């Protein structure tokens, strides 16, 4: 993503499933939904701390069906 941001003071490495995060070092979105290769047990642990942007509506486990190279859309939900 062509976005630059500073790491926020409340950035976290272990995050709740279904939260939408911005990975500052990678300039990309992170949408954790389950364990990662760096997780301990069933936690959602990312390789570095990430900023919170929002959360998914519905069950984040549906992301398990997304394959490498699939397009997904992220947008603002109506409140």
SS (H, E, C) 5-44: CCCCCCCEEEECCCEEEEECCCCEEECCCCCCCCCCCCCE
pTM for the full predicted model:
0.79
Continuous segment of H or E residues that includes residue 47:
strand 44-55
| Angstrom distance (rounded) from CA 75 to CA 8 | 22
Query: Tens digit of pLDDT for each residue in 14-73?
Result: 999 999 999 999 899 999 999 999 999 889 999 999 999 999 888 988 888 999 999 888
**What six digits make up the tokens of 14?**
């272990």
Segments making up each domain of the chain, as ranges: 12-54
């Amino acid at each position: 993503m062509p976005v630059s941001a500073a790491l926020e003071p409340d950035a976290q490495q272990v995050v709740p499933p279904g939260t939408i995060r911005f990975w500052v070092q990678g300039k990309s979105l992170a949408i954790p939904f389950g364990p990662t290769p760096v997780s301990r047990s069933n936690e959602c642990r990312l390789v570095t701390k990430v900023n919170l942007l929002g959360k998914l509506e519905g069950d984040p486990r549906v992301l398990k069906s997304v394959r490498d190279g699939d397009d997904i859309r992220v947008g603002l939900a109506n409140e």
